[in-house]
Structure 1
């Protein structure tokens, strides 16, 4: 049985990825800041016959991450799949951005991804097999006028993916990223429609497939990238966006 670490897994895309990997027979470390919510996800996984353990850590704190990774290893053994999903996002006009706004965004979205990946890498190298799946953002591809700091931090994740794929390919490790587009979650909610200057109906009409995404859309792609079937795919940006961004 393979073991995966999924960050930001208490809800939304992260939870969906954790549930899907567990369904596929992978033991999952469900990591988030909220341990109680992680425990709820673990209960759902176990109720469906899967294996999981709840973990908590600030992904930008190496000591906390190392402790969580050690706990996961103790439960299920070496970690050979990581889904770097944890992140933050908000809307701030560029001229109103502070140094603190900028630093926090990169601290979590970019440095956190770096730390988590580095802390599990030894297991993948030892196994001669690994899957690193980074959840970026379609905003990094298109830009977002009130999310300059967010788009830049996720653009760095895409660049990190490309470089790591070259560095780690010889070890049997693939590295890819998924930039979700218009997936209904806390950010892409009706409550935030004013930030997009349009209603959800208007947004949906802009998407070629005629609907916004759901977390399972991302989880499906994640599960494929974590499988043997994707062994010849690395360094790629796998857009799951209903055609909002084409390449």
Structure 2
């Protein structure tokens, strides 16, 4: 059995990538991973019990230096690998145009992650429980989903919606919502998803490369070591309809991730 946590980053940004991430850990390792993260907080001597541990530098406690915060994040990602966690990421290029819908983009991302997780569980002959970070929808999205619970109910009862059908997610047993500060496991997913966000949207190539080296070790791969369409889904799949300048940016990212 696996516990999975899902979140998004930069889903409101235009002319950049919407990034979503899922971190899943075997149930039998969850307690030890939480204890490990809590130990990092305590040993740093700068995190109070109510302080959040997230990827964003602006979220760190005032007493925490940038260097300490960076090291803790590195240790969390390394610990995720030690305790058998796997990461599945999604990114979607948001062209700057009137039809760009931030909610739609992240829900496509969540649907993709859930579908990939279901496939992963099938390969493991296992099942999973999913918690998605708080789902707050814009007015337009509420025409389809009254609230976040409506979305979760659809996943449980019907599965993922395709043009002509719903496809059930048979290996996922339960869905619920969570929020920051409710678990060390949500902190871990925030850090790993935030790392993917910086790899994709960040400016410092040295930092991007360092983060890439860290998270590739926990990203779900095929039996042949391929992460594309396994641990990382990039959309749109076909770039022939994108503007030339958008194609160029998309290809730069693809080359970077594959390097």
Question: Comparing both structures, which one devotes a greater share of its residues to helix?
Answer: 1
Do they fold alike, i.e. is TM over 0.5? no
Q: Normalised by the size of structure 1, how large is the TM-score?
A: 0.34
TM-score, structure 2 as length reference: 0.33
